[in-house]
Amino acid sequence: MRRLGALIVGTVLFVTIVIPVLVVRWDKSAQPARGVPPPKPVRAGGGEMLQIRVFLPNQGKVLALGLEEYVKGVVAAEMPAEFELEALKAQAVAARTYAVRNMRQFGGPGAPDRADADVTADYRQQGQAWLDEAALRSKWGAAFERYWEKIGQAVDETRGLIATYGGEPINAVFHSSSGDRTASAKEVWGFDCPYLKSVPSPWDRLAPRYSEIKEIPFSEAERRLGPEAGVVAAAKIGNGEVAKVLARTDSGRVERARVGSKVFSGAEIRDKLELRSANFVFEPTPASRDVLIVRTIGYGHGVGLSQYGANGMAKEGRDFRQILSYYYTGVSLKNIYGE
């Protein structure tokens, strides 16, 4: 009888505890892209908040931060603090969405090659920029208190909000300015994304770095593009056409161009020649000069939220919800705290 009782108890425990644990583990590994679950706040910084682990490449360490604190540091690092409040709010939602999409607590992949971090502050490669208060005091000087309060207001008034599509956090990419139109994900990265479509962005024309003319010596261009491009040899022919745009995307960016005797994609030329964008033209080179002259429009990859476009829309009276729904087609806002 005792053995029978023990067997019954053991069976109950297995059914009620062990099997559910196994099911949960299988579900997490098999369905990492589920909808955003309600967060489980943890004690940190004297109050309850959701934590995110951020890898700081310049310090080689991982820092645990409250999610909203992290978002403040991203907005302060990524967007000029003098921008309109509604533009800063849009940036806050984009930054928070990026974080939640990557956080392991929400089923995200975490930071690449860092099992101990959710995101990285290596914005040049694979993350968002982030600055702490000390760095911002140095950056802003006497304006620190005013700017920090403004950034805090933008984050507080969008607390917990993320942009979603089909119930999932979106890939909330953004850039400085796009020119007359943003680019679609298809033309830049080769895949269709329903919320990353090309839209007009006329406000970008007011960006201080909207256009740039860059002069690159022919020898330097050949070094960057490779000797097989034959840039110097093409220049010696003297017909004035060392480089030529061959095709453009729907948003006006360069799809293919010939430099010297070789054809490159616009993205390759942007990367190799370190141009601000793939929206560029080759200007005629004077006979007395040995330089490749390139004029670019916009700054960044051009996909998703245009920061200067967002500021222009805010100046016209649009709020952050209108800005986000304009640059991210068909998205909805969701509060991860259920507020």
Long-range contacts of 238-241 (CB under 8 A, 24+ apart): 238/287, 240/284, 240/285, 240/287
Provide long-range contacts, Cβ within 8 A and 24+ apart, for 3-11: none
Q: What is the DSSP letter of 124?
A: T
Cα separations in angstroms, 6 against 10, 12, 13, 20, 25: 6, 10, 11, 21, 27
Q: Cα 7 to chain center, whole Å?
A: 56
So what's the pLDDT on residue 209?
87
- Confidence at residue 158, expressed as pLDDT on a 0 to 100 scale: 97
- Neighbouring-strand partners of residue 293: 215, 283
pTM: 0.84
CA–CA–CA angle 181, 313, 208 (5° rounding): 65
pLDDT at 26: 24
How many alpha carbons lie under 13 Å from residue 42 in its C-beta half-sphere?
Answer: 10
DSSP H or E segment with residue 92:
helix 85-102
Cβ-based neighbours of 118, under 8 Å, separated by 6 or more: 52, 53, 54, 99, 102, 103, 104, 105, 108, 110, 111
CB 48 within 8 A of CB 42: yes
Give the DSSP letter string of 138-173.
HHHGGGHHHHHHHHHHHHHTTTTEEEEETTEE----
Taking the CA atoms of 92, 95, 96 and 97 in sequence, report the sign of the dihedral they define.
Answer: positive
- Residue type (1 letter), 73: G
Residue positions counted in the chain: 339
DSSP sequence for 312-330: HHHHTT--HHHHHHHHTTT
- CA distances 105 to 137, 138, 166, Å, are 32, 33, 19
DSSP output for 172-233: --EESB-TTBPBPHHHHHSS--TT----B-GGGGG-TTSEEEEEEEHHHHHHHH-GGG-HHH
pLDDT number for residue 7: 39
Task: Determine the 3-state secondary structure of 67 from DSSP.
Answer: helix
Q: What pLDDT score was predicted for residue 255?
A: 97
- pLDDT value at position 192? 95
Return the amino acid letter for 115: A
Q: Would you write out the chain's pLDDT as a tens digit for each of its 339 residues?
A: 434 344 333 433 333 333 333 222 222 222 233 455 555 544 433 334 789 999 998 888 999 999 999 999 999 999 999 999 999 999 999 999 999 999 999 999 998 888 999 999 987 767 899 999 999 999 999 999 999 999 999 999 999 999 999 999 999 999 999 989 999 999 999 999 999 999 999 999 999 989 999 999 999 999 999 999 999 998 888 666 899 999 999 999 999 999 999 999 999 999 999 999 999 999 998 888 899 999 999 999 999 999 999 999 999 999 999 999 999 999 999 999 987
The per-residue pLDDT for 301 is 94
pLDDT of residue 47: 37
- State the Cα angle at 216 between 290 and 275, rounded to 5°: 155
Cα-based torsion angle of the residue sequence 133, 139, 143, 144 in order, rounded to the nearest 10 degrees: 0
Q: Identify the pLDDT of residue 4.
A: 37
Query: What is the predicted pLDDT for the residue at 17?
Result: 33
The secondary structure element, H or E, covering residue 258 is strand 254-259
